[in-house]
Amino acid sequence: MSDNITLSSAVQRIKESPTLAVTAKASLLKLQGIDIIGLAAGEPDFDTPEFIKQGAIQAINDGKTKYTPVGGIPSLKNAIADKFKNDNGLDYKAEEIVVGVGGKQCIFNLCLSVLDAGDEVVIPAPYWVSYEDIAVLTGAEAKIISTTIKDNFKITAEQLNVALTEKTKLVFLNSPSNPTGSVYTKEELLQLATVLHKYPNVIIASDDIYEHINLNDQDFNNIVMEDPSLKDRSVILNGVSKAYSMTGWRIGYAAGPTKIIKAMTKLQSQSTSNPSSISQAAAETALRGNNECIAEMVKEFKLRHTYVVENINNIDGLSCIPAEGAFYAFPYAQDAIDRLFKANVISKNNDIGFCEYLLDKANVAVVPGSAFGAEGYFRLSFATSMENLVEAISRIKKAVEI
């Protein structure tokens, strides 16, 4: 009977999330008793801070277990507005904010709200794995701007100018970046803004989810902060997942023009409805608390980052530049891949074959760069213990230097 079932053309256009697929495979191997070190997942290894848990427990005890407004409870929206005002110098009203079931749903709702078949979406690569597939799901065309390690994985104003056309509807900017950890400077953002002013109908999506995972001690900036005149056609995407180690609570949020936010809320009303009432209470507690818990996590991330970059660069055939934010390293591995392929150690002369080899030979799970639109690289998360990182790097070195 299943042979007679046909799937939609939309779902056939997209791929399974590569990061989730690698994580699932690593978990399966662990269940089989194999000592796998997983460096694929994009979430902090720290527990959610206790004061945030207590905020959720209090909400349960207070009976806050019913449906809420689709786009988020008013008190959480107010906390988000205060966050934008205090941290970013940006003013948003409640009707310009929507709370979603994670940052991914906010991006999904944004794309479905503004994109039609034939529209173009400009995405700098390397990019977060879901940008392209979500855009393609709408029938739009993803237009990729490639960068390399020599560019510090950042697009230039010239590249953006070439990519934009009259068909462009949406541009994604992600700083700090997943998977590279690259961060745009104020000057670079202003240069990109100058180009965007030539295309007044283009919507800007600023993905700021790693805002607080700052590895270089520089003040955070996004394109709207640098050029407020773009605010009326920009949507800022953020959440509590990364900063407060709350990935499983599934709370993201977006702020932007009322017309877009209303459309995103309408879509949400016909899909998930409101995010969990308890998770919303926890998110409000997080945003109303102090950021000492973030500082403690970032301090540890910095130590891990330094260790990973230094030791990856000591492996023959791998090259890694320092990240400025987030908790990933994104080494270039093509030299090692070529050498291993010529020696008949790996059967595929690409990053996918290389990462499969690391999983099978070294029992280390990482994500191939091609999943992020960058062949010849791989992403390694240092959101795990230093003990795991030391062992993982040692295993990778032994597997590569044979």
Could you tell me the pLDDT band of residue 356, with boundaries at 50, 70 and 90?
Answer: very high
Cβ atoms 251, 282 nearer than 8 A: yes
- Average pLDDT of the chain? 97
Task: Tally the C-alpha atoms within 13 A of residue 402's C-alpha that lie toward its C-beta.
Answer: 18
Give the architecture (CATH level 2) of 9-47+293-400: Alpha-Beta Complex (3.90)
Alpha helices in 272-357 (DSSP H): 277-288, 292-312, 334-342, 351-357
Count of beta carbons in the 10 Å neighbourhood of residue 328: 26
Domain definitions of the chain by residue range: 9-47+293-400, 50-289
Cβ atoms 242, 44 nearer than 8 A: yes
The two tokens of residue 55 are 């905020």
Average pLDDT (275-304) is 98
pLDDT of residue 16: 85
pLDDT of residue 301: 98
Model pLDDT for residues 316-353, shown as the tens digit of each residue: 999 999 999 999 999 999 999 999 999 999 999 999 99
pLDDT of residue 1: 54
Cβ atoms 143, 172 nearer than 8 A: no
Model pLDDT for residues 201-260, shown as the tens digit of each residue: 999 999 999 999 999 999 999 999 999 999 999 999 999 999 999 999 999 999 999 999
The two tokens of residue 215 are 């590895």
Q: What's the gap between Cα 191 and its chain centre?
A: 23
β-strand pairing of 328-329 with 378-381: antiparallel
Model pLDDT for residues 172-212, shown as the tens digit of each residue: 999 999 999 999 999 999 999 999 999 999 999 999 999 99
Could you tell me the pLDDT band of residue 27, with boundaries at 50, 70 and 90?
Answer: confident
* Closest of 218, 227, 225 to residue 176, by C-alpha: 218
Radius of gyration, CA atoms only, the chain:
21
Element at 328 (helix H, strand E) = strand 328-329
pLDDT of residue 2: 66
| CA–CA separation, 283 and 280 (whole Å) | 5
The two tokens of residue 179 are 């998977």
pTM: 0.96
**pLDDT over 70 percentage in the chain:** 100
Model pLDDT for residues 127-140, shown as the tens digit of each residue: 999 999 999 999 99
Could you tell me the pLDDT band of residue 266, with boundaries at 50, 70 and 90?
Answer: very high
pLDDT of residue 254: 99
| CA–CA separation, 240 and 252 (whole Å) | 6
| CA–CA separation, 315 and 336 (whole Å) | 9
Average pLDDT (156-166) is 99
Give the architecture (CATH level 2) of 50-289: 3-Layer(aba) Sandwich (3.40)
| CA–CA separation, 394 and 327 (whole Å) | 19
Task: Tally the C-alpha atoms within 13 A of residue 217's C-alpha that lie toward its C-beta.
Answer: 2
Whether the per-residue pLDDT at 38 is higher than 60: the answer is yes
Average pLDDT (74-86) is 99
Strand ranges of the sheet holding 234-239, from the earlier edge strand across to the other edge: 97-100, 252-255, 234-239, 203-207, 168-174, 120-125, 141-146
The two tokens of residue 66 are 């019913």
Q: Which residue has the tokens 């009203």?
A: 93
| CA–CA separation, 235 and 257 (whole Å) | 7
Cβ atoms 364, 36 nearer than 8 A: yes
Handedness of CA 376, 381, 386, 389 (dihedral sign): negative
